[in-house]
């Protein structure tokens, strides 16, 4: 083999190794612990405390990997229907607040607005608020969230 | 020049190869708007210097980050000054980079043979914005957290690979200590080093191609 050909090949090998190194680095950066979240039912409140009509913000706590996490949901009581909404705005993930005077959910980040049924009435959100499953067992209310 | 410099230069030899650039006259058709890029670079130097100082006291961990920022502001001698300088220089760096870009655009200085230098400038601007984004999380307060929640969620809107991209940036499903550490790493290592390389290329091309004429 001529010296020129050898050097050309050496350069090719060098860049191949570099490409492999960069690809491995990208895989390395990607989190390894992305597991599928499973639905867990968390205790929310007693059935007697449920709002009869209107919207109420409920905070609840649970443990995750020896940390206590405080989460919140909106429980909406309409005509014989009880719904739980996640407070996470479907636009870019801020937490919405309930405005009781205007009867709408308002996101503080970019002004997304949802009505009492979680449907978008103004602003950038692409989807309605996420509904969370509710379960009532032995007079206690549980909400299903993915953990 | 001085004796000490001459002693070093007779061994190191930095003067001779740079003579052409050091003794070259400044073109007569330039005005003060040609200083905008230099102003941006000055802010970059201040950022590098104050950033080095901040890294002495800042702790990039979930539990310590906010506390250490409070300590830098309230307890460390001149800490408030160093932190403020870093914060304000960051803002002014971006502003002067944009003004410099506008100047280059108005004077049509992006035209051949300077297209590659325009591209280098754009890359530098992207790195500057990325530094701003990653630096914004480091105080680890409410504003930082929610700004990063919004910013990383934007990655999630990329078609097809959005979720993977978002998890890669966050280092997990949510923003937590892992996110803080990788943002810190990018803010103090990857991005400044990339910026230094880009700026070297930027200035090298300015030297080689000369300053573009007036309007």
- CATH number of the CATH domain containing B111: 1.20.810.10
The edge-to-edge listing of strands for the beta sheet with A140-146 is A39-46, A140-146, A134-137
C-alpha A48, offset from chain centre: 29
Does residue A25 share a domain with residue A66? Answer: no
Residues of chain A found within 8 Å of residue B173, distances taken between Cβ atoms: 34, 37
Chain A environment of B153 (Cβ under 8 Å)? 91-93
Q: Between chains, do A31 and B153 touch, taking CB under 8 Å as contact?
A: no
* Token output for A143: 């909400």
Number of domains in chain A: 2
- Structurally, chain B folds into a number of domains equal to 1
Which secondary-structure segment (H or E) carries B38? helix B36-57
- Judged by a CB distance cut-off of 8 A, whether residue A92 touches chain B is yes
What per-residue string of b and e applies to A76-106 under the rule 16 or more CB within 10 Å gives b? bbeeeeebbbbbbbbbbbbebebeeeeebbb
* Nearest C-alpha in A relative to B172: A31
Grade residue A110 by pLDDT with cuts at 50, 70 and 90.
very high
Phi and psi angles of residue B71, each rounded to the nearest 5 degrees, phi first: -65, -45
Domain enclosing residue A45, as ranges: 39-146
ipTM, 2 decimals?
A: 0.81
CA distance B189 to B180: 14
A18 and A89 in a single domain? The answer is: no
Q: How many CA atoms lie within 13 A of A31 on its CB side?
A: 23
Question: How far is B132 from chain A, CA to nearest CA, in Å?
Answer: 19
**Residue B145 lies in domain:** 31-209
- For A45-101, give the secondary structure using H, E and C: EEHHHCCCCEEEEEEEEEEECCEEEEEEEEEEECCCCEEEECCECCCCCCECEEECC
Cβ of A109 within 8 Å of Cβ of B146? The answer is: yes
User: pLDDT (tens digit, 9 = 90+) per residue, B77-115?
Assistant: 999 999 999 999 999 999 999 999 999 999 999 998 999
Tell whether A43 and A22 lie within a shared domain.
no
Tell me the pLDDT tens digit for each residue of B31-66: 899 999 999 999 999 999 999 999 999 999 999 999
Structural element, H or E, at residue A122: strand A120-122
């Amino acid at each position: 083999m001529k010296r020129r050909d050898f050097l050309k090949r050496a350069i090719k090998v060098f860049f191949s190794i570099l490409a492999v190194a960069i690809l491995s680095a990208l895989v390395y950066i990607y989190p390894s612990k992305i597991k599928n979240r499973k639905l867990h039912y968390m205790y929310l409140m007693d059935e007697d405390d449920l709002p009869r009509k209107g919207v109420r913000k409920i905070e609840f706590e649970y443990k995750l990997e020896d940390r206590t996490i405080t989460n919140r949901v909106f429980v909406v009581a309409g005509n014989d229907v009880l719904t739980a909404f996640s407070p996470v705005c479907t636009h870019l993930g801020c937490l919405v607040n309930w405005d009781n005077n205007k009867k709408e959910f308002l996101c503080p980040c970019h002004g997304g607005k949802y009505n009492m049924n979680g449907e978008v009435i103004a602003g950038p959100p692409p989807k309605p608020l996420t509904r969370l499953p509710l379960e009532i067992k032995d007079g206690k209310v549980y909400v299903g969230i993915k953990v | 020049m001085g004796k000490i410099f001459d002693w070093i230069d007779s061994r190191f030899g930095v003067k001779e190869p740079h003579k052409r650039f050091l003794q070259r006259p400044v073109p007569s058709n330039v005005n003060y708007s040609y200083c905008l890029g230099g102003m941006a670079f000055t802010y970059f130097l201040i950022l590098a210097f104050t950033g080095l100082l901040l890294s002495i006291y800042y702790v990039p961990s979930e539990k310590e980050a906010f506390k250490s920022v409070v300590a830098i502001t309230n307890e460390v001698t001149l800490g408030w000054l160093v932190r403020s300088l870093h914060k304000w220089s960051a803002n002014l760096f971006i502003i002067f980079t944009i003004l410099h870009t506008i100047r280059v655009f108005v004077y049509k200085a992006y035209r051949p043979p300077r297209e590659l230098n325009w591209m280098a400038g754009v890359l530098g601007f992207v790195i500057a914005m990325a530094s701003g984004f990653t630096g914004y999380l480091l105080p680890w307060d409410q504003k930082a957290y929610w700004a990063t929640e919004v910013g990383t969620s934007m990655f999630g809107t990329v078609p097809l690979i959005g979720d993977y991209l978002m998890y890669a940036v966050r280092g997990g499903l949510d923003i937590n200590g892992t996110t803080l550490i990788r943002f810190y790493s990018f803010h103090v290592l990857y991005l400044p080093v990339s910026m230094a390389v880009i700026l070297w290329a930027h200035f090298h091309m300015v030297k080689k191609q000369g300053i573009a004429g007036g309007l």
